[in-house]
Structures are given as structure tokens and as C-alpha cells.
Structure 1
């Protein structure tokens, strides 16, 4: 992370979750459809984003499709999301997706080496191409022939499209989280995410 990016990060939330006493009937209806945590709480990302209800209403189905209804295997999806969280310094995104990644079969050893990039020893060929894809899309807004062809050896056209859209979606989400300063809820940690890699 560059010093310029670090300096731009808010020290405290710029936008706080909308307090329940300010929820109008439409807000209640929108948030009722949001994924809830085991204790019944609604994640801060949703109670903050709902401050723009029209955008929220259209965002949720698209994000939900990529997260729960996409064609990519869960461990593939979560590796891409965690590397995107790492690349963008999105601590909230990292912390929320650690349990999802573990549930999808991503091992602690794999989580530990996400920050080391695609050349870290231990990755399979597919995993190395996935990490490279997240990096190249983040840095260059495209993918090299070698990375595309490496992924095409494992996936069909629809899955290749989904890889690109997934990284783009979670990069956009990271922009929102980092710029507004959404705070990670109690009970979620950011294990493996280095100090100085963003507080969102």
C-alpha cells in the first residue's frame, strides 16, 4: 500500500450505519432482504449502503448472485475475493470473507500466503492463475494472455466472465468500504491482514 493511499483512509467512519430509529418502511423492507448474521444483526455494509436506497436495491441482487448463485466453486470465489481485499486494503472485506473462505474449503495455509502473491510456493496451477488474475485486473484493468489461457484450461466462457465480474464487484465494494470507513463488526477478525493495509 502506498503512503498516499494510507493517508487517504479515514481514521473513523465517514458514514455510519443508518440507525434503526431512522429506518422508514422502505428501508425496513430493503434490509429485511439483506443477509443477516447468526445473531440476527445486519452487517454494517448494508446498513450504511442503504442510505442510498435505490442503489442498494439494485446492488443486492447482483452481489447476491456472485456470492451465492454464481458458477464458480466457493473456494475459487473466496480466493479471488480475499486477494482483491488484500490488493485494495479492504480490512472489512477481508474480515467478513475469512469465515466464508474457510467454510468453502480454503485452508489456513492458503489464507496465510494470499499476501505473498502468485509466486508463493504451495499454490496449485489454478490457484496461481486466480491470484494473478486478481492482481492483473487490479493493476492493469485487464488480464494477460498467459493468465487468461491458464484459467481457460479450467473454466468455460461463463466462468471466465464471472472471474472478471467478481473481481470488479469486490474492488468496487472495497472502494465503498474504504472511502466511507465501514467498521468490522464485533466477532469478526482480520487475522492475516497486516497493520497498515487499511482500516476499512
Structure 2
């Protein structure tokens, strides 16, 4: 399992992205309207994920409310959300996703030691029992497209029905985003890095 295989801070397999982000100078009126409420990085730059996805305006418009619901208005605590996202980024080889969520993960309470353990999987020493179940959930959804009875029952001791639904939908949503990022080759934005990213195939059981 190539978990220590460091990759460049880009999801391309080599060379330029397959689709370039839309430069703000090239936005037409519709693109400007779509991106008016997009999150901005200092000093006001819109991230490459948004300016690339905006090449499909209808899909962008439909996707954003769902994505922001999970990211900003979801039921899960921020630390739980970001742990699941980082493990999903690792599982899918999405270095962009990892790099963008590192600051969010730290702000939500994940320590540097936690982040270093994410690529090591659920059996790495140092996780709490809840963390271990969450990472195993991300792995099972990635590998089997379902939670095992054991993992479901373990999580149900800590999370309600709506939370369990959100766990599955969150992991699924970030898989979908990873498919887009990796296939298009979206490059990580200035000011972000993918420190600690190591892609690999999870093992679970």
C-alpha cells in the first residue's frame, strides 16, 4: 500500500490541467453572477475548484447549495467532518481536497499528530474509539459503498439517525468532488499546500 508515496501539490497525472480555471478577466456576466457568492481566499481570489466547475454553469448552480450545506450547515461537529474529508481525500488520491481542508481541519481541532495519522488508517495508535470508527466508515464506504453492521452499530452509539445519514452523504459528496478534481487536474491554489498528503488504497475489515 503506497501510503508514504508523496505526490505533487496538483491532482494532474503530469503536465497542465486538462481544464484551466476561468480567469476573472474572462468571466462573462453569467459567470460573474455565479461566482459572486463563492468563497474567496485572501486577497479576494476565488479558488480553482469553483472557477473550474463554473465552466458548467448549470451544474455549478445546482451543486453549490448541497456542498455548502454539508460544509457549513451540517449536523456533524467540524472535527468529525474534517476527519472524514481528510481520510476520503487520502483514499481517493485528491491532493487538492487535502490541501484545501488542512486549514479547516486544524481550525476544527485536529492536531498535527491527528493529521499525520490519517494516512495510517483506523488501526494507527493514538486514535480515540470514535475516531477509529469514523476512519473505518470512510474506508468501508470507499471500498464497499456501504457501512458494515459492526461500524454502523459502533457509530450509532455516538451519533443519531440524521448524523449517520450525513456521514454517508458527506463521504459520498467528497468522493464526487475528488473524481472531478483528479480527472480535470485542478491545481492547488496559492497559499495552500498538501503537507502530509500520501495517497493509498485503504484496508479494512
TM-score (normalizing by structure 2): 0.90
Tell whether 2:121 aligns with 1:117.
yes
Displacement after TM superposition at 1:9 (Å): 5.0
Question: Hey, what's the Cα distance between the residues in 2 that align with 1:38 and 1:65?
Answer: 23
Q: 1:149 pairs with 138, 150, 153, which one? A: 153
Aligned counterparts of 2:12 and 2:109: Cα–Cα separation in 1:
32
Post-superposition CA distance 1:106-141 (Å, at most 9, x none): 111000000000001111110000000000000000
CA contact (8 A) 1:90 1:177 kept: yes
Which residue pairs with 2:13 in the alignment? 10
Structure 1 stretches of at least 4 aligned residues deviating more than 3 Å after TM superposition: none
2:107 is the counterpart of 1:87? no
Contact 1:88 1:171 in 2 (8 A): yes
Larger relative contact order (CA 8 Å, sep ≥ 6): 2
Tell me, in whole angstroms, the C-alpha distance in 2 between the residues paired with 1:10 and 1:118: 28
RMSD: 1.6
Shift of 1:39: 1.4
Aligned length: 192
Contact conserved, 1:94 with 1:190, CA < 8 A, in 2? yes
Equivalent residues of 2:18, 2:185 under 8 A apart: yes
Per-residue Cα deviation, 1:58-101 (whole angstroms, up to 9, x for no partner): 10000000000000000000000000000000000000000000
Pair 1:46 & 2:77 matched: no
Q: TM-score, normalised by structure 1?
A: 0.92
Gaps of 5+ in 1: none
Task: Note the C-alpha offset of 1:38.
Answer: 2.5
Partner of 2:203: none
Name the CA distance, whole Å, in 1 between partners of 2:142 and 2:20: 27
Are residue 66 (structure 1) and residue 70 (structure 2) matched? yes
Which structure's residues are more often helix, by fraction? 1
Looking at structure 1, the residues matched to 71 and 35 of structure 2 have their Cα atoms a distance apart, in angstroms, of 17
| Mapped partners of 2:146, 2:68: distance in 1 | 24
